Amino acid sequence: MYPNDHALKGSAAAFVALHQRMLARDVVAVCSFVRSRAAVPALGALAAAQEAKDEHGAQARPGLPRAAAARAPRLRCRAARASPACMLPKL
């Protein structure tokens, strides 16, 4: 996701608001991922993370989850907002 206020005014502010809300609620967003213009869209998960700093105060590079964790996420459903995604079979 690349917010670009020149192409779409307010997209950077919308991304910051989405990121902060996802952190506050401890949720992930289901999104459409397109690798290139000619590629077929695929479903993906957008996970928010707190900014990490190293011992020198510089921004630390985020680590990637293990392949098994990325492919088999644990879904938590809220009873008030149950969705079909919460009913996925366990892998």
Q: Across residues 12-38, what is the average pLDDT?
A: 89
Q: Across residues 2-27, what is the average pLDDT?
A: 87
Q: Quick one: pLDDT at residue 59?
A: 80
Residue 77: both structure tokens together: 């459903």
Q: How large a percentage of the chain has pLDDT more than 90? A: 12
Tell whether the model's pLDDT for residue 91 goes beyond 50.
no
Tell whether the model's pLDDT for residue 90 goes beyond 50.
no
DSSP state of 53: B
Residue 41: both structure tokens together: 């869209």
Task: Give the separation between CA 71 and CA 43, rounded to whole angstroms.
Answer: 12
DSSP state of 35: S
Q: How large a percentage of the chain has pLDDT more than 70? A: 65
Q: Give this prediction's pTM.
A: 0.56
